[in-house]
Amino acid sequence: MGAEAQSIPGLGAPADTEWETVVGLEVHAELATETKLFSASPNRFGGDPNTHIDPVSLGLPGSLPVLNQKAVELAIRVGLALNCRIQPSVFARKNYFYPDMPKDFQISQYDQPINVDGWLELPTGRRIGIERAHIEEDTGKTVHIGGGGRIHEAGYSLVDYNRAGVPLVEIVGHPELRSATEARQYVAELRSILVAVGASDGKMEEGSLRVDCNVSVRPAGSDRLGTRCEIKNVNSLRSLGRAIDYESRRQIDLLTSGQPIEQQTRHWNEDDGRTHALRSKEEDHDYRYFPEPDLLPLDPSPQWVEQIRQELPPLPRDRRLRLAEAAPSADAAHIALAVERSLDELAVAAIGQGGVPERVMTHIVHNLADGPGELTPQALASLVGMEDKGQLTATQAKRVLAVLVDRGGSPQEAAQKLGFEAMESVELESLVDGLVADHPDEWSRFCDGDAKLTGFFVGQAMKATQGRADGKAVTQLLNSRRG
Amino acid sequence: MGQQRITRAECAHVAALARLELTDEELDRFTGQLDELLDHVAEVEALDVEGLHPTMHALPIANQLRPDVPGEVLDRDEVLAQAPLAEDGQFRVPPVLGEAP
């Protein structure tokens, strides 16, 4: 990352110095292949320990790696989507001793990575530079047993190599993010892109997407980088934001009290909401990279890269623009949410079939968090049409929608089955007459201008009709009756 | 032979990284041998390679790729039977302190 560990010019400055947080992220994403990067064992989350293993992923003597074509294609998709240059690349051995890698080295890319010099555009329009996005293999998983679960008291460790050799891309961003919020936007956007191009499932909770963040602080306006700390174990967007906020606060406190920042790796603890220095010795890592002699260079032909580019699906940014065009009055955050949940295509299609954009977006944002299920654009368009004509209340529409998601079919049919026949206006008028007669006190207060009573009467109307009355129509009747 | 290209301390550091325990006598001997190797590298480095295309690999081929099709996996019990220690379908190893490097 090249952040020079120089002292902060503002050290010893008064406590009211304005500080700026600087964040650079390294994101590891597991590629959505059928098999591992260098062997034919399945690449699948979970499964009984050590059931997705073969001689290559166990590093057995004599075994030889053979590169997975699909992994390369997915890595190129990622590179293209991040506006990188795709270049000839070489695999390298990163040497270290740790039981998660049985051959005592990890195959990665070092000085000649496949994707370089790209950028990612945040939803705000700010572009964050991408230094590289290279291919490497994942490691196995170790669990610590004994000693009450605390690492330093552990009796022994158990190793599962199912994940060893799973293909990854490591996306290294420049330290150009300026806040926890921007860091979250970056990861959310990156995840959307990875999912959109089919490169990864992007599930942070299953470890498909892992984020290491480098955090430093400096006096606002300075163009020098402060000493950074690397934070590991950030497993959700929420913890990413919390960890960065905590860490920059910690560093600012140290600097304002005249203490130096020590460059170190720190561990985010979700429970106490702090970062902790790792107990391991902070020796300078010396991985002694050298070209992997068992693998040939990778030099994707321009034709192949061009073909992959042609086949790239629309990216989240373009999808947001498209939905914003279809629903011009929609909130930017709601547009982003729709794209993130992959509901934008449904929304655009439903609007295209005549659905009122505002009503379509309401369902997209509030009622389809678990996905569209069996719901078709046509059904969504006619559902909001029924709402628009007053044939269904908002509450009823929500229940009809749940049926459509569950079983498909048309909203007319579903509404009928649920017994949601729209109330005739005559029926509604006699209902309101009755309410006025039954509640003379409330009625006179309403007539005197107490607007809160609207809710009371609508509530009574709903109760009397088990929710069949249209709240808006009742309000209109009340207002017109008041004169 | 020019000036010394690697110190005894550097050699000891490299040995430590490779988890090699060397005696004082071995350390002297290997420092000298590594130095000679580096002399040879220096000779190659001195060549004028202006305009030559870099050779990335001894074989003049690239892009040896495999289709993404699942194949056979090893039998877990058979594999674990050959490990020094196993437990719950996993390899049992000495306690791992700290994070992976």
Same domain, A378 and A432: no
In this structure, is residue A281 part of a structural domain? yes
* Nearest CA-CA partner of A335 in A349, A316, A356, A350: A316
Same domain, A247 and A100: yes
B55 pLDDT tier (thresholds 50, 70, 90): confident
pLDDT of residue A150: 56
Judged by a CB distance cut-off of 8 A, whether residue B51 touches chain A is no
When pLDDT is averaged across residues A308-321 and rounded to a whole number, the result is 95
Helix (H), strand (E) at residue B86: strand B86-87
Task: Please give the Cα distance from A82 to A194 (Å, whole number).
Answer: 10
pLDDT surpasses 90 at A242: yes
Biggest CA-to-CA distance, chain A:
92
pLDDT surpasses 90 at A236: yes
DSSP A84: P
Q: What residues form DSSP beta bridges with B64?
A: none
**pTM for the full predicted model:** 0.80
Instruction: Give the torsion through C-alpha atoms of A313, A317, A318, A322, to 10 deg.
Output: 130
In this structure, is residue B67 part of a structural domain? no
Specify the higher pLDDT residue, A311 or B16: A311
Residues of B in contact with A288 (CB under 8 A): 14, 17
Judged by a CB distance cut-off of 8 A, whether residue A282 touches chain B is no
In this structure, is residue B97 part of a structural domain? no
When pLDDT is averaged across residues A318-333 and rounded to a whole number, the result is 94
Judged by a CB distance cut-off of 8 A, whether residue B99 touches chain A is yes
All residues at 6 or more sequence positions from A468 whose CB lies less than 8 Å from its CB, including other chains: A393, A396, A419, A420, A421, A422, A423
pLDDT surpasses 70 at A347: yes
When pLDDT is averaged across residues A313-319 and rounded to a whole number, the result is 94
Same domain, A294 and A327: no
In this structure, is residue B24 part of a structural domain? yes
pLDDT of residue B52: 87
Final residue of a structural domain among A303, A334, A358: A303
Are B66 and A66 in contact, with CB atoms under 8 Å apart?
yes
- What sign for the dihedral angle of Cα A191, A194, A197, A201? negative
Percent of chain A surpassing pLDDT 70: 92
pLDDT surpasses 90 at B24: yes
pLDDT surpasses 60 at A419: yes
Please tell me the least confidently modeled range out of A135-139, A223-227, A372-376, A422-426. Answer: A422-426
A211 pLDDT tier (thresholds 50, 70, 90): very high
Please tell me the least confidently modeled range out of A50-59, A276-285, A422-431, A437-446. Answer: A276-285
Contact B90 A50 (CB under 8 A): yes
Number of domains in chain A: 3
When pLDDT is averaged across residues B7-36 and rounded to a whole number, the result is 93
CA-based R_g, chain B, Å: 23
Task: Please give the Cα distance from A303 to A458 (Å, whole number).
Answer: 65
pLDDT of residue A3: 40
Answer left, alpha or beta for residue A414, where phi above 0 means left and psi between -120 and 50 means alpha: alpha
Closest by Cβ to A152, choosing from B61, B79, B97: B97
Same domain, A297 and A329: no
Number of domains in chain B: 1
Tokens of A201: 């499932």
Burial A365-381 (b: 16+ CB within 10 A, else e): beebeeebeebbbebbb
Cα-flanking dihedrals φ and ψ of residue A348, to 5°? -60, -40
DSSP A456: H
Cα-flanking dihedrals φ and ψ of residue A192, to 5°? -55, -40
Concatenating the DSSP letter of every residue in A345-401 gives HHHHHHHHTT--HHHHHHIIIII-TT--TT--HHHHHHHHHHHHTTSS-HHHHHHHH
Cβ neighbour number for residue A119 with a 10 Å cutoff: 15
Closest by Cβ to A286, choosing from B17, B66, B73: B17
When pLDDT is averaged across residues A213-228 and rounded to a whole number, the result is 93
Can you give the CATH number for the domain in which B35 is found?
A: 1.10.20
Same domain, A180 and A261: yes
pLDDT surpasses 50 at B1: no
Percent of chain A surpassing pLDDT 90: 67
A159 pLDDT tier (thresholds 50, 70, 90): very high
Task: Please give the Cα distance from B56 to A375 (Å, whole number).
Answer: 54
Judged by a CB distance cut-off of 8 A, whether residue A298 touches chain B is yes
Same domain, A195 and A321: no
Tokens of A285: 């890592």
Task: Please give the Cα distance from A207 to A141 (Å, whole number).
Answer: 11
ipTM above 0.90, yes or no: no
pLDDT tens-digit map of A24-65 = 999 999 999 999 999 999 999 888 999 999 999 999 999 999
pLDDT of residue A11: 45
Are A5 and A263 in contact, with CB atoms under 8 Å apart?
yes
Judged by a CB distance cut-off of 8 A, whether residue B81 touches chain A is no
B62 pLDDT tier (thresholds 50, 70, 90): confident
In this structure, is residue A153 part of a structural domain? yes
Residues of B in contact with A155 (CB under 8 A): 95
How many Cα atoms occupy the beta-carbon half-sphere of A471 within 13 Å?
13
The whole domain housing B32 covers 8-45
Pairing of strands A141-145, A105-109: unpaired
Mean pLDDT of the residues in chain A: 90
Q: What angle do CA A158, A164, A168 make, to 5 degrees?
A: 135
In this structure, is residue B16 part of a structural domain? yes
In this structure, is residue A385 part of a structural domain? yes
In this structure, is residue A414 part of a structural domain? no
When pLDDT is averaged across residues A305-329 and rounded to a whole number, the result is 96
Are B68 and A66 in contact, with CB atoms under 8 Å apart?
no
Same domain, A193 and A230: yes
In this structure, is residue B26 part of a structural domain? yes
The whole domain housing A451 covers 425-482
Mutate to test the interface with B, among A139, A296, A301, A308 (most CBs of B within 10 A): A296
Final residue of a structural domain among A389, A416, A434: A389
When pLDDT is averaged across residues A410-439 and rounded to a whole number, the result is 82
